[in-house]
Structure 1
Amino acid sequence: MASSTTADGSVVRTAERGQMTMAVVTAVADAKGVSPKELDAKLHDVVDPDGLEAIFGTGDTSSPSAARLVLSMADCEVVVYDNEQVIVTPPVESTEDEDGSAPTGSEFRHD
């Protein structure tokens, strides 16, 4: 599986045919800076691994489509594309004040 890291710390990984679940787990672990075995979160707690493989792990990129799955695992945003690509964005460091409120001028991401 090929992998790279972007300037913002996101991990981009391309899955081999039938290895989408492994690509997701490995990319999340890379984004968190741990081995896959050290992850507290389990993929099966957020998505059905068999369903993920059935839809995204077929290796069929011959027909263009815009299918993607967005999920959260281990505090990371995970986006799985039908072209066998996985992009994992690690959590942003907390910038909350002591009382739990966000400081003035912060930007929040809303999808």
Structure 2
Amino acid sequence: MTAPFDPARDHRISRDEAAGLIKAHQAQAAPGAHQATAFNRSAFEHLLAQPGAAGIRIYHARHADGSPTMVMVAVDGSGADLAGANNVCTQAGTDCPPFCASATWF
């Protein structure tokens, strides 16, 4: 069982830890597998501007053609998704591949 959602948690990790986590994933991924999805700042701002938003949950998801993507939803202070009819969700990020960073730091 995981700990309850903590809106004050510090999620920062070192660059070396981040690189290790990314490398571990890539070592087990099939060639050409989904590696990342980039979102612009406004995607996060729209989610966090919603009344009651205390954080963001990122779901692994799939397009109709089966290709992977990510969907983000705002969560409230208890960690419940804000997924009502008037709540905003985001997707439409830039997937890697095919659009990956030209140089990697890990």
User: TM over 0.5, yes or no?
Assistant: no
TM normalised by structure 1 equals 0.23
Q: Which has the higher contact order (CA 8 A, sep 6+)?
A: 2
